[in-house]
Chain A
Amino acid sequence: MTTTSRAGQRPARQLPRTKARNNRTDGAARAPWMLLAPFLVLFVLTFILPIFVAVLSSFTKVTRSGLFGETGVESEFAGFSNYAQALGDGSFIASIGRMLLFGIIQVPVMIALCTVLALMLESASAKWPSFFRAAYFLPYGVPGVIATILWSFLYVPGLSPLFDIAALVGLTPDFLGANSVLWSIANIVTWSYTGYNMLIIVAQLKAIPGELYEAAKVDGASTFRVALSIQLPLIKPALVLTTVFSIIGTLQLFAEAEVLKTVAPAIDSQYTPNLSAYTTAFAYNDYNVAAAQAVLIALAAFTLSFAFLKFTNRKSS
């Protein structure tokens, strides 16, 4: 930060014009780097270096001798063996498959829901839009852990009033069963993020020029028609953005599964890729395989998001 004051170049003011100009270009050349410096230093520390460390330790292996490694422990270069082990671990692969399934169903459902909600809220017939907007947005302020604690109370038989209501109509739901618990998690995620995504779309809707609506009105287009041929195409960028974030969010899924695990026997300790990496590192003490898993998760998120962006780009051009 000491360089900052030098960049002030105060004396420049007193100097002849030409010299000042030179100084200015000099300052202008250094300025962007100074402005970027704090961000870049932290970015390197918390993004680049950890990725470097992860890659490094994913190629390291620990070997032991004796019953507990008491007669010797050695670290050595492992080649791809940690990756082989991570990819050969049925539970880890299953967790990735589970998240893909989750993403394929939950992300479109949520995006569709928040789009419909946004269109409804912005339609002329909606009443009390600010109340609804606030109500829908409220869950976003509830941390995932706390949202899960909340819903878990509603999922547990004996504690949840939902079962009494379901019994009235002759249903016996099982929110925490092996086949249903994934969708119970999907519900929590949808509950948490729909309002947030909806606001992004609402913002985009508000940016649509009023003349377009006027023109549509003159043409006698119905509300539905307006939504389909004016609003939807124009909010596409917002949809792309929310979808990409939802995909990344899906791969990050951790807190929901970790918290629900205490009440849902069907959730194992490697239910999501992140839970798997966490368990491998801190319950199985296999930091090297965990590092390989972390690298694989990052690669998957990167590839999926990138593929989605490419796909939507090509479609629009």
Chain B
Amino acid sequence: MTSTVTPTSTAAAAPAGKSPAGPARSARKGRSSTIIVTGLLVVALYFLTPVYWVLVASTKSTEDLFSTNGFWFAPTFALWDNIAQVLSADDGIFIRWFLNSVLYAGVGALLATYFAAAGGYALAKYEFRGRNLVFGTILGGVLVPGTATALPLFLLFSQLGLANTYWSVLLPSLVSPFGLFLCRIYSQATVDTSLIEAARLDGASELRIFHTIGLRVLTPALVTVFLFQLVGIWNNYFLPLVMLSDTGLYPITLGLNTWLSQVDRLPEFYELTTGGVLLSIIPLSIAMVILQRFWRGGLTEGAVK
């Protein structure tokens, strides 16, 4: 049923060739350049404004937050107080949430990438019975929204006694059907069958071939899958919300929303929330800025090399 998907997306990787330097740089500059740069700047303003706002807001006391202009700093600079509060609130629970997020996203993405690579490689490089059935089923998984399985998964994990444990968030994070799908495309395009044959003649085992040749050739795709899964888990909200009731197990998304939901009754939580938001987006923003270079080739690099 889903096999139709493959040609479309493999086509994504098809137009091969050396990465070009883009359209000739010598093209007309001047007016069109001004228009384009202005456009780019306006859009950048849009993307950066909320981040700028929270940067300003986190330097204010709750009182100033409501009484001074949101795009400029208040006379009293309360950033360090606010951050100290964020880090010390509830015995440093913020740090715990942060570490939980790192655990869920880091371990989850690492293992998910490895499993997806092994599976994708197997589906690309071996002919075996049931291959199409397996691949079709997994592709179906790409199309099923993660949130639709979260509720029944909760009921299932409840029966297994896994709900409200680290495992309840970690286990579902280890599966990336999309990652497997990418790895399969990439394996088809880049892993040279003659290399595999040569290794076989040397007597290397199949698993050894995968670990030495497969993984090495797949590395660029693995980076993409890893980043994709990392951000996916880091941003996930529904699954931990459904699974976890113990605040000590919360990832940062859930934790910050817990704080936000208290501002109604306890306005001082505004300081915690804005400070917490600032702290939580700093590492991710830095990561994004650095990692977007690796991402570039990402999804289509399969054929580019």
Contact = CB atoms under 8 A, between A and B. Distances in A.
Q: Is A in direct contact with B (CB under 8 Å) within the complex?
A: yes
Interface of A: 4, 7-10, 12-13, 20, 24, 27-36, 38-40, 42-43, 45-51, 53-54, 57, 117, 120-127, 131-147, 149-151, 153-154, 158-162, 164, 191, 194-195, 199-200, 202-211, 213-214, 217, 223, 226, 234, 237-238, 240-241, 244, 248, 251-252, 254-255, 258-259, 262, 274, 277-278, 281-282, 287, 290-291, 294-295, 297-298, 301-302, 305-306, 309-310, 312-313
Nearest to A15: B203
B23 A136 contact: no
- Smallest CB-CB A-B distances: 5 pairs: A210-B20, A161-B70, A31-B206, A237-B12, A209-B17
B251 to A, nearest CB: 9
B237 A144 contact: yes
A203 B180 contact: no
B281 A54 contact: no
Given A199-B296, A254-B147, A57 B155 contact: yes
Most B CB contacts (10 A, CB to CB) among A32, A282, A301 go to A32
A120 B114 CA distance: 36
Contacts of A240: 8-9, 12
17 contacts: A43-B138, A47-B149, A50-B149, A51-B144, A138-B285, A161-B69, A164-B70, A191-B46, A200-B299, A203-B298, A204-B12, A207-B300, A207-B303, A210-B18, A277-B151, A298-B145, A312-B8
B205 A241 contact: no
Given A240-B8, A301-B145, A255 B155 contact: no
Counting chain B residues whose Cβ lies within 8 A of the other chain, the interface size class is: 35 or more
B143 to A, nearest CB: 5
B27 A223 contact: yes
Contacts, number: 370
B23 A38 contact: no
B116 interface: yes
Contacts of A277: 148, 151
Contacts of A208: 15, 17, 20
B256 A149 contact: yes
Nearest to A249: B145
Contact of A46 (B22, B153, B241): B153
Interface in B279-305: 280-281, 284-285, 287-289, 292, 295-301, 303-304
A50 B47 contact: no
Interface in B1-45: 1-2, 4-5, 7-9, 11-12, 14-29, 32-33, 36-37, 39-40, 43-44
A287 B156 CA distance: 12
